Amino acid sequence: MSSAKPGELPATDEQPTRNLAGAMAWLAGGLAFCLAALALYWTQYSIGTTTYRAAFLGFVLTLSFLLYPVLQRSRSRDRVWIIDVVLALVACAALIYLATHIEDVKTRATRPLELEVWLGCGLVACILEATRRTTGLALPLITVAFLIYALAGPFMPEPLDHRGYSLARIVGQNYLTLEGIFSTPLDVAATFIVLFTIYGAVLAQSGAGAFFIEWAFALFGKRPSASAPGRATVASGFLLGTVSGSGVATTVTLATLAWPMLKRSGYPANVAGGLLSAAGIGALLSPPTLGAAAFIIAEYLQVSYLDVLVMATLPTLLYYLSCWLMVEADARRLGVAPVKTSDASVWALTKSHGYHFISLGAIAVLLATGMSPFMAVFWSIALAFGLSMVRTETRLVLLPGIAVGCGIAVIAWFFEDRFSVAIFWGISAAMAFSGAMWIGARREGGAVDAAALGMFNALIDGAKNVVGVAATCACAGIIVSVITLTGLGLNISGLIVDFGGGNAFFTIVLAALAMWLLGTAVPVTASYIIAAVMLVPALRDVGVPEAAAHMFLFYYAVLADVSPPTALAPFAAAAITRGEPFATMMQAWKYCLPAFLVPFMFCLSPDGVGLLLIGDVASIAQTFVTAVLAVTMLAAAFGGWMWREANLSERVVAGAAGLALFYADPWFDAAGLALAAAAVGAHFIRVRWPAGE
């Protein structure tokens, strides 16, 4: 796996892309730029729903076939094959037809024409192939199984049988309506997710990623300490996650920059890889971007994205607290050498580059004022673009380009009477003028300032980073359409409730196991989407509030990325640290294990939803304090350290205390506190007055 340069984020997709050159590289870059430009244009001007989603998907599929090889291990993987061109043409033909015949097909979704059946089948095949290339074979195979299930309903055993649907009916549902391929998952990818990936790319291109890591290292490692490298890594994972929104990308960037420091301080490769991947996977939990599934939660719950950010706050803090405490335990247990992680001054770094924090805070402020998420992120992109001009080395356009852009913005504001539109055209003009200056310099053989193409590169990177997620969302939409059409979701929900005997605890455990198994096969976004349709009804039936049910599934979808038997983030870290993949994965699981129980807390009892900041202040505070104590006790149990190394009996009692405290109930809290006091007291007596003294 290639390493990222400081300040850059690797592609967020899970499969390596082609190394294109020449005309194909220019074509892929041009298409990616057009995709980003389309998304930004949509924030300012109205485009028909189906037309926009079809255009977005057309760019995504074409880029999938250009950027990702047919076979990863082929000797000619970097060469675009004829099949890539054919697939791109088929996808574009189907989507252009839909966009130009939208008024006609609305009335015959259940009875499509033969041509529409062929085009729909071609589009489904293209989506399956694009998903296979970007995320692997598992999700396309699952999708095919669902399609077969829709066809073979009468032959299925009870209670999974249904009347069965014709190929034309299935294609019509997916291709000609907004209830299949173009349903909520793709809608969210085409609106919110693509804008956040562009925003992350703008921040990364302007050096924010490198600054966040350097700032965290300076904050926690100014003085030599055994815990300093681990603390800095955990903090860097959180800060970098606010830019990335991708667990694998954050892990790779962290590993590239932090592994030499961890190695120098004495961390074994497997332990360091586990720490790096646990810190990196937290990117999917880190505001303001979170993971792609968080945007879909907002749509399913019909709440604002700010509400999802609020609900995610305390569980995210508990996740990083778990990682932090495990770092402290490992640093002492392994005898890590005290080292400094940085010689830089936090205050000096904040004064010189602290402006990178401004746009991050702006998103939360704008959302709090009631602004729509896509406009909030548009303004944050514009703000990050403007702030990049503060320093010469971070500029995204040339100074003459900024001057031209300001002039065009003033003119556009006069005619359009909307400030956001003026800013849109101002940035566009600044980019165009800088690009023209770059072309002129190249023709004359003169020096070319890298800033001339900075914003172009940011938009291209942002668009490329959404390709895998968007293909996944389109594929997941097909699965959701089958579940809706056949009623499978209600059947699965009923089975889970029956297996759980109507008991909330056992039903929640079954849902967690289902998420774990699903997460080993498909990406986080897809596993959440599938589970939201099939498992949320089961959780609601046993009394779990709907918001808690969705957040439970979201967190288990994320945590599946560091869980056996397959976990991409630990495997990526192991590739860089040269550790053993499975051993690295088990270390990552150990770091995250206390956090695995946090979702149970806000599902098992009415008071537990306080962790989602739902309820009165006193209840929320009490629940959070209890959760902190629970995570601390579990970290002591799994990490094996309190003041000194804990023995087996102390660890067992501490683990029991943590489990009891995770159930938000006064009696369980009392039992947990008593057990915690017993474990801590026994440990203190043992290390303070050893036997024989």
Q: What is the pLDDT of residue 385?
A: 93
Q: What is the pLDDT of residue 502?
A: 78
Contacts of 102 (CB under 8 A, 6+ apart): 48, 50, 51
Separation of alpha carbons 62 and 481, rounded Å: 24
pTM equals 0.84
Q: What is the pLDDT of residue 312?
A: 85
Domain ranges in the chain are: 22-185
Residues 160-218: tens digit of each pLDDT: 888 889 999 999 999 998 888 998 889 988 988 898 889 888 988 888 877 888 888 88
Q: What is the pLDDT of residue 554?
A: 87
Tell me which residue of 602, 647, 192, 656 sits closest to 378, measured CA to CA: 192
Separation of alpha carbons 583 and 204, rounded Å: 31
| CB 305 within 8 Å of CB 375 | no
Separation of alpha carbons 681 and 392, rounded Å: 58
Mean pLDDT by 10 residues, the chain (693 residues): 38 67 92 96 92 96 94 82 95 94 83 93 96 88 93 86 90 91 90 87 84 81 73 81 70 80 84 87 72 80 85 86 85 76 79 86 83 88 91 89 93 84 94 92 77 92 90 91 86 82 85 80 80 87 89 84 71 84 85 81 84 87 90 88 87 91 86 92 83 52
Alpha carbon distances (Å) from 382 to 206, 375, 388, 561: 13, 10, 10, 33
| H or E element at residue 626 | helix 617-639
DSSP state of 487: T
Separation of alpha carbons 670 and 388, rounded Å: 53
Q: What is the pLDDT of residue 656?
A: 93
Contacts of 678 (CB under 8 A, 6+ apart): 653, 657
Contacts of 166 (CB under 8 A, 6+ apart): 151
The amino acid at 261: M
Contacts of 162 (CB under 8 A, 6+ apart): 153, 154, 156, 486, 487, 488
Q: What is the pLDDT of residue 146?
A: 92
Q: What is the pLDDT of residue 399?
A: 92
Cis peptide before 16 (omega within 30 of 0): no
Find residue 225's DSSP bridge partners. 339
What would the two tokens of residue 625 be?
């304090």
| CB 388 within 8 Å of CB 395 | yes
